[in-house]
Homo-oligomer: A and B are copies of this chain.
Amino acid sequence: MLAVQEFFENSDYAVSVVDLVNHFKEEMNKATVYRILSRMESEGMIHSFNGMDGLTWYAACKHCSHDHHEDQHPHFQCKKCGRVECLEISLPIPKVKDHKIDSEIVLLVGECNNCQS
């Protein structure tokens, strides 16, 4: 579990579960990776969300504990390099007629600074 923990430390980027399983495949079993990830998520160390690709992505939490989970920020995915980033901004929740809206899941898609030539 420590190795996975260290992996997320000091990273603003999200990682897909496929990349994680691949990254640790010499070190630990696929099932173990999944178990560690869900444990870390329930303890508020990381949060998960779905990428455009349908995969589950994980990223480090900044200000969360197991009873206070603040993962409502939007994510950004660069369509060139595929990197996914957590954005530490809060978007206004839109008002829609006849709908009581509690939260919104936002994935912004575009080009990151590195990929803009």
Contact = CB atoms under 8 A, between A and B. Distances in A.
Given A50-B52, A87-B96, A96-B76, A110 B116 contact: no
A74 B74 CA distance: 14
Interface residues of A, number: 32
A102 B109 contact: yes
A110 B95 CA distance: 11
Contact of A108 (B76, B104, B110, B112): B104
A75 to B, nearest CB: 10
A55 to B, nearest CB: 8
A35 B79 CA distance: 26
A31 interface: no
B109 A104 contact: yes
Nearest to A102: B110
Contacts of A99: 76, 87, 108, 110-113
Interface of A: 50-52, 54-56, 74, 76, 79, 87, 89, 91, 93-94, 96, 98-113, 116
